Structure 1
């Protein structure tokens, strides 16, 4: 039921395929939608085999632009309704779930042709009467708050997109995680961030799937970050929150100090009590540390902007200090989102990942010896002398 959507900006590159493979290994989505694949159907078919999905539909790129691909895990779960260079429309019918309609959308990148995307949404709205969700790169925003940096977004584009969703009775889904999904000019004063990727749903869809989560997965090999749509069963509300160590904490000296202080203060406690107390303290501190990336980045940039152009030694020293701190925050933020994607998990030391444990268990199973042949070529097991 879960859907992974990503503007990959070229599927034929080894790093894009590897990143997709690692993301899919972690999230295990039922469906994967890729836009701007910049390739033909033969490349899409090779990726399908690598991902071990049963079905795939490819819309070939036109020259060096465009291209769509949709992968599904089981052929029985999906029926294709229509497709074009800007959309793939399917009916999803999974046993135990309500039947619904999903449209994977790639909005016209040319602003002068954006009305074609709006007309496409209106046309699709009149075709099949099912609970409906649309997901993908809409290449449009709903308000100026969806954009950071650069000039203001043209108001006629915002209003046109808003009217389209109103006419089709579609609701914008809240994005969990980082607010923006596309960036340009990172680590420069001209950096621009925009939320171009999103999901919208009809009232009937939200009535059936009362809890639906849309997550920005953060890190990516493209200038777009992937988004992940997951309707949540009612029964999954009650869960036990477990402590998880953040790799980004290792880049902050305070983390080591916290562990040392807890260990010293709890010297008369058992090992397990120390671990429990340490996890509680780290959780409280880490929630503020990893949840304030945006605030810390804004503060550094504000200071640097105020010092820009000053020539005295103190200003230069303070500017340099904030510049280094900004670089470190970006580095911490990247590690934070990499851990969630489990990308480069071993390099970052993520030895608590499910992938690590799955690999270890598989290796143990392969290496396990049940029987051996003795010197008389008789089969010997653990019960009879091995």
Structure 2
């Protein structure tokens, strides 16, 4: 569940991109607020109540495994927000909710100012009753970094499997064209092939591919690796900013992450193979979803013979 800050048409695009079958929307008021909950058909979910503060649902209604799922946002208006949180606190105390803890960064919201000061808070969290936790004892709440928001996303994990790995094939990346070095590599390889008498267009293309792969790794920079490295540096920079009161390094890393996310959006837009994907569209999550869906469709995880082995 999330605050929408957008219209229903955009929510429909988001629903398709994350491959969920249903959604429940509390319309926004003006430019702020609005709530949305998405779920798949495999989840037996029934929404029993909603307003601008929350969406309340029941999972497996009518069965012995029935439980409540409530997403609470609070008051969109800053002046009235403290009262809404006070009421929530009273409910939590009365019902005996406990904090599920978290894995990842300590804080889920931050505001950085140009003077070097920052505000850090843990505003987003998962809560449950003791009976619920006994049903799902392996539950972990992960704080996920979100480069496009000042809030961290909350991922509640019951269980999961790591996807199978496969050998990476060479693909020419459109984002390389933003760097003059790409043209220089191709031209140098083509000229060298003339000198070395490499015959055939396929031989030259293969040689270009090897050199471009090396250039991408050692000069241009692997997008996902660079993003991963920057995101690993960010928590340490945030800790230092909290201790020293200077967020200069945090703002620098955030800017670099945004630049690499621009390259990432170009990469996934190309891989999605959508005719309408235009350069400059930053909805890389949707492009990633399309490319990943195509990978899952093409992937053969195993073979079974006539005897079932």
Choose 182-191 or 97-106, whichever is displaced more: 182-191
2:144 aligns to what?
Answer: 217
1:175 matched to 2:102? The reply is yes
Partner of 1:82: 49
- For the residue of structure 2 that corresponds to 1:175, the secondary structure is coil
Distance 1:290 1:185 in 2: 17
| Counterpart-to-counterpart distance in 2, 1:168 and 1:364 | 47
1:114 to 75, 82, 89: 82
How far did residue 80 of structure 1 move? 1.0
Are 1:92 and 2:59 counterparts?
yes
Distance 2:117 2:75 in 1: 24
CA RMSD of aligned residues (A): 4.6
Asked whether the equivalents of residues 106 and 122 of structure 2 are also in contact (C-alpha less than 8 Å), the reply is yes
Pairs within 5 Å for 1:159-174:
161=89, 164-174=91-101
Residues of 2 paired with 1:114 and 1:304: CA distance? 26
Q: Is the 8 A contact 2:147 2:258 kept in 1?
A: no
- The answer to whether the aligner puts 1:101 opposite 2:28 as a matched pair is no
Q: 1:113 to 1:181 in 2, by over 3 A?
A: closer
Q: Residues 345 and 172 from structure 1, CA distance in 2 versus in 1: closer, same or farther, beyond 3 angstroms?
A: farther
Cα distance in 2 for residues equivalent to 1:82 and 1:117: 19
- Name which structure has the greater RCO, CA cutoff 8 Å, separation 6+: 1
- Aligned counterparts of 2:25 and 2:292: Cα–Cα separation in 1: 34
More moved, 66-75 vs 185-194: 185-194
Measure, in 1, the Cα distance between the counterparts of 2:257 and 2:9.
Answer: 36
| Superposition TM-score, scaled by structure 2 size | 0.54
TM superposition shift of 1:328? 6.3
Q: 1:48 and 2:7 equivalent?
A: no
**Contact 2:118–2:245 under 8 Å retained in 1:** no
Q: Is 1:70–2:55 an aligned residue pair?
A: no
Q: What pairs with 1:148-297 in structure 2 (closer than 5 Å)?
A: 161=89, 164-185=91-112, 188-232=115-159, 294-295=235-236
Unaligned runs of 5+ in 2: 166-229, 269-287, 301-309
Q: CA deviation at 1:186?
A: 5.4
Quote how far apart the aligned CAs of 1:81 are: 1.1
8 Å CA contact 2:118–2:241 kept in 1: the answer is no
Post-superposition offset of 1:201 = 0.6
Q: Secondary structure at the match of 1:115?
A: helix
CA contact (8 A) 1:213 1:232 kept: no
Matched length? 216
1:211/1:46 CA distance change after superposition, 3 Å: same
Partners of 1:194 and 1:71 in 2: how far apart?
A: 26
Higher strand fraction (1 or 2): 1
**Structure 1 position 92, deviation (Å):** 1.1
Taking the aligned partners of 1:49 and 1:214, their CA distance within structure 2 comes to 25
SS of 1:62's equivalent? coil
Once the two structures are TM-superposed, the CA of residue 300 in structure 1 deviates from its matched residue by: 7.1
